[in-house]
């Protein structure tokens, strides 16, 4: 079935460090790919998305490129801040699956000052 595998955490970084969270997917068809962020005690916020191969999603300094050849959608940020501390979820969506989102396990990121 369709699934998402993302890098296990937790990840602890210092401010201004480079962040990468790996995400790979398995899907029958051509999924849309997403990164969602969850701050403590809150729901999920859409961080960025890409709907086809080679698309790059970007927002708030975060980027991810839809790589069909490696079935990946890795999240990157060049210089993290304390406010980026959160849980990050990679997800995929297929119209053939009633537009349901399939989530990865989530990666907890803590940025220290």
Partner 1 sequence: GAVVSQHPSWVICKSGTSVKIECRSLDFQATTMFWYRQFPKQSLMLMATSNEGSKATYEQGVEKDKFLINHASLTLSTLTVTSAHPEDSSFYICSARLRTDTQYFGPGTRLTVL
Q: Which of the 8 DSSP states describes residue 12? A: E
Q: Which stretch binds partner 1 (CB under 8 A): 18-26, 39-47, 64-72, 76-84?
A: 39-47
Can residue 103 be called a binding residue for partner 1 (CB under 8 A)? yes
CB of 16 to partner 1, least distance (A): 27
Per-residue burial over 44-64, b = 16 or more CB atoms within 10 Å of its CB, e = otherwise? beebbbbeeeeeebeeeebbb
Between CA 33 and CA 5 the distance in angstroms is: 12
For residue 93, the minimal CB distance to partner 1 (Å) is 5
Contacts with partner 1, residue ranges (CB under 8 A): 32, 36, 41-46, 49, 51, 89, 93, 95, 98-101, 103-106, 108
């Amino acid at each position: 079935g369709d699934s998402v595998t993302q890098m296990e955490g937790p990840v602890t970084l210092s401010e201004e460090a480079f962040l990468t969270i790996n995400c790979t997917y398995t899907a029958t068809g051509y999924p849309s790919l997403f990164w969602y962020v969850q701050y403590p005690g809150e729901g999920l916020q859409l961080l960025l998305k890409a709907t086809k191969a080679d698309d790059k999603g970007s927002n708030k300094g975060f980027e991810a490129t839809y790589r069909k050849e490696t079935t990946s959608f890795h999240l990157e940020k060049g210089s993290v801040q304390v406010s980026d501390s959160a849980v990050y979820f990679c997800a995929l969506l297929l119209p053939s699956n009633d537009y349901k989102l399939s989530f990865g396990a989530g990666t907890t990121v803590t940025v220290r000052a």
